[in-house]
Amino acid sequence: MLKGKIDYLKKTTNEDGVVAALAIDQRGSLKKMLAADGRDDANAIVEFKELASEELTKYTSAILLDPEYGIPGMKVRDSSCGLLTSYEKTGYDATEKGRLPDLLPTYSVKRLKELGADAIKILLYYDVDEPADINDIKHAFIERIGSECVAEEIPFFCEFIAYDDTIPDAKSYEFAKVKPHKVIETVKEFSKSRYGIDVLKLEVPVNMDYVEGFNHGNEIAYSREEALNYFKQQSDATKLPYIFLSAGVSTKLFLETLKFAHEAGAQFNGVLCGRATWREGVEPFAKNGEEAGREWLQTVGRKNVETLNKVLKDTAVSLFDKLS
């Protein structure tokens, strides 16, 4: 790996070489959450991101923000906190087949670096079972961004969300059954050096709501042993550093999932934790204003982050061990 990339990675990790990062680059989904609680304006998105950055980056190794609404948040982050920036447009064009990605039109890796980024993040919706002509577009798309990041010597974090358009409900039992295959095969594909990815940002390979012992009355899609095996398969599928995303689950379930991954022997290198950290703070902010939101972040939000940091101390391994 280029020395410049390693130097930047050090800015995004904690003293253990682990990514303990806060993700708040949500745009469309955050707008819906705020609107549901009575704040249906663009300023609310900017203000909440800024508030979360100001209050929570004292306890995180990095923060992920978008340049559309997150620049004020970038400016108030703690001086010890690294910055990851989103490069893709939010969502995808639902009128086209294949959930094809697109970039923010007025940004480039060079411009995001000039904005202060320590790493570039891309989200890609990917189905290994899509027709080759669709996936080839996505492969070329990631190759281009990888080349940009090499040219600028800045780390490339790539996030993958599995899907299957024949199973519309990604939270269903039916999708839970196919998810391990889709997630693990995606890891294998994008671990190839041609893509220039430095850190994989991954979903866990199962839906924990259908794991024996975690299912709370739901139908069981995987025994406990099967689920542990899928976590190990995912880890063994790559030599790249990888981190987990929280995927909007509760804080409690996310922490339990990290412990489960560790039990499986998964060699993961941290997290980019989003809504599991801050989603419950949206309501007091939207309904009662900045001070109510700040109080929630200073108390419950801080506790969520510090509890997560303690779990990472016991479960995650140094990213730099893999690079060496």
Q: How many domains does the chain have?
A: 1
Q: With 90 as the cut, is the pLDDT of residue 248 above it?
A: no
Can you tell me the distance from the alpha carbon of 158 to that of 154, in angstroms, rounded to the nearest whole number? 13
If one counts every other C-beta atom within 10 angstroms of the C-beta of residue 193, the result is: 9
Instruction: Calculate what percentage of the chain has a pLDDT beyond 70.
Output: 100
Q: Sign (positive/negative) of CA torsion 213, 204, 316, 267? A: positive
CA atoms in the 13 A half-sphere facing the CB of 315: 25
| Type of residue at 49 | K
**pLDDT band for position 93 (cuts 50, 70, 90):** confident
What pLDDT is stored for residue 1 in this prediction? Answer: 82
CATH code for the domain in which residue 165 is found? 3.20.20.70
Running DSSP on this structure, what letter comes out for residue 298? Answer: I
Q: pLDDT tens for residues 121-136?
A: 999 999 999 999 999 9
Task: Kindly state the average pLDDT of the residues 263-285.
Answer: 96
Helices (H), 57-116: 71-75, 109-114
Q: Give 225: exposed, middle or buried? Use CB within 10 Å, 0-12, 13-18, 19+.
A: exposed
Give the residue from 27, 123, 31, 14 showing the smallest Cα distance to 78. 14
Can you tell me the distance from the alpha carbon of 23 to that of 25, in angstroms, rounded to the nearest whole number? 6
Q: With 80 as the cut, is the pLDDT of residue 110 above it?
A: yes
Q: What is the 3-state composition of the chain as percent helix, strand, coil, each rounded to the nearest 5?
A: 50, 15, 35
Structural domain including 98 reads 3-323
Q: With 90 as the cut, is the pLDDT of residue 42 above it?
A: no
Task: Kindly state the average pLDDT of the residues 138-145.
Answer: 98
Q: With 90 as the cut, is the pLDDT of residue 324 above it?
A: no
Q: With 80 as the cut, is the pLDDT of residue 71 above it?
A: yes
If one counts every other C-beta atom within 10 angstroms of the C-beta of residue 205, the result is: 27
What pLDDT is stored for residue 26 in this prediction? Answer: 95
Collect all residues with Cβ–Cβ distance below 8 Å to 120 and sequence separation of at least 6: 84, 85, 87, 109, 112, 145, 148, 149, 154, 155, 156, 157
**pLDDT band for position 2 (cuts 50, 70, 90):** confident
Task: Kindly state the average pLDDT of the residues 52-62.
Answer: 98
Token pair for 76: 């108030």
Q: With 90 as the cut, is the pLDDT of residue 319 above it?
A: yes
Task: Kindly state the average pLDDT of the residues 78-89.
Answer: 98
Q: With 90 as the cut, is the pLDDT of residue 86 above it?
A: yes
**DSSP labels for 227-258?**
HHHHHHHHHHT-SS-EEEE-TT--HHHHHHHH
**pLDDT band for position 142 (cuts 50, 70, 90):** very high
Give how far Cα 195 sits from Cα of 122, 141, 242, Å.
12, 9, 15
What pLDDT is stored for residue 95 in this prediction? Answer: 86
Collect all residues with Cβ–Cβ distance below 8 Å to 50 and sequence separation of at least 6: 72, 73, 76
| Three-state DSSP class for residue 66 | coil
Running DSSP on this structure, what letter comes out for residue 219? Answer: P
Number of H helices, E strands in the chain: 14, 8
pTM over 0.95: yes
Angle between helices 42-56 and 302-315 (to 10 degrees): 60
List, in sequence order, every beta strand (DSSP E) within the chain. Answer: 19-23, 62-65, 82-86, 119-126, 156-162, 199-202, 242-245, 270-273
What pLDDT is stored for residue 250 in this prediction? Answer: 92
With tokens 């259908």, the residue in question is 210
Running DSSP on this structure, what letter comes out for residue 52? Answer: H
What pLDDT is stored for residue 309 in this prediction? Answer: 98
Q: pLDDT tens for residues 163-213?
A: 999 999 999 999 999 999 999 999 999 999 999 999 999 999 999 999 999
